[in-house]
Amino acid sequence: MKNKPILFINVCVRKESRTRKLAEKLLIKLDKPYEEICLANMNFPIVNEEYLIRRDQLVSQGDFQNTMFDLAHQFSEAQTIVIAAPFWDLSFPAMLKQYLELIGVVGITFKYSEEGIPIGLCKAERLYYVTTAGGNYVPEIFGFGYIKALAEGYYGIHDIRKIEAVGLDIQGADADAIMRSAEDALLDI
């Protein structure tokens, strides 16, 4: 699999996803080839004790070419990352957490210093987090904040930008105008 400059992590499941539409506008604005990974179409392995033992064995042997690590390599090699994740139940869809568990591999996406401090190994200079929400109450720590902490603290990506359209389903809200405003904000990127 040849890596393209942008890795688009699509966490949207609805056909008419507003989050995906906003992310697609961003991808047009970035105007570079991208590789899309649609998490809704993935069959995630169960991360149980057996899985962790196997992964730890491969890591300790330095066998990072095992297919178990393909997603981690793809993420680590991307120049720019776009995550499109709607705000659901005070967070993002669970499949994004599953994906993050698979890419969090010591020796590929990060390593530890002698003091036990994570050092990022990812090549991406920028990560865009695209989200939409029906309501206005979108706590940073449960969605974007989690991704930002991982990107900065573990992956070594320090330019993290949030693109959002919120309040879309509040009675009386002009959802189209809110989406246009979010799209217009892309001009400043």
Q: What are phi and psi of 91, to 5 degrees?
A: -165, -150
Nearest to 152 by CA among 175, 178, 129: 129
Provide the percentage of residues in the chain whose pLDDT is more than 90: 87
Across the chain, the runs of DSSP E, i.e. the strands, are: 6-10, 34-38, 80-84, 110-112, 118-120, 126-132, 159-165
Q: Own/partner pairs for 48-55, CB < 8 Å, 24+ apart?
A: 55/105
Asked whether the predicted pLDDT for residue 189 surpasses 80, the reply is no
What's domain 6-188's superfamily in CATH?
Flavodoxin domain (3.40.50.360)
Contact 69, 115 (CB under 8 A): no
- pLDDT the model gives residue 3: 64
More confident residue, 142 or 51: 51
> pLDDT tier at 187 (50, 70, 90 boundaries)?
confident
All structural domains of the chain with their residue ranges: 6-188
Asked whether the predicted pLDDT for residue 1 surpasses 60, the reply is no
- pLDDT the model gives residue 137: 80
pLDDT of 67-104, one tens digit each?
999 999 999 999 999 999 999 888 999 999 999 999 99
